[in-house]
Amino acid sequence: MKLKLLILIILSPLFVLGQSNAKSKTTHKNSKLEQFSVHKFNQLIAQEPAVLVDFYAVWCGPCKKLAPILEKVATEKNIKLIKIDVDKNPALAQKLGIEGLPTVHFYRKGQLEWENLGFIPETELNSKL
């Protein structure tokens, strides 16, 4: 699986050529940062009582389908949502063992409670939270 992620990371610039860099809307509870260090990531998940982390890539179809669901659920449940583009943060993705997309992590009080690889329906996401 790590080889697949490495291949995706290497080939991803080929898929995004010619695409716009449209910024998505974020609220004060949501973060979409360009560059994340492991230290910065750990600080962010430790600052909030509950954090939902969306590891995605701009070229990933299931990631695009999952994004509005994560935003809706995070808003409804008052959970901080952090979106991390793995193409811009390969070292962090590797350190956290992200092997496929989309991957969602849920942290409570800085500790990983559960993770999900692949698309997750809204009802299943709500039941896990």
The residues annotated as belonging to the active site are: 60, 63
Task: Kindly write down the DSSP assignment for every residue of 39-74, as one continuous string.
Answer: HHHHHHHHHSSEEEEEEE-TT-HHHHHHHHHHHHHH
CB atoms near residue 3 (< 10 Å): 8
* Dihedral, 25, 16, 90, 82 alpha carbons, nearest 10: 10
Nearby residues of 9 by Cβ (< 8 Å), 6 or more positions away = 86, 87, 90, 93
Given its phi and psi angles, is residue 53 left (phi above 0), alpha (psi -120 to 50 degrees) or beta? beta
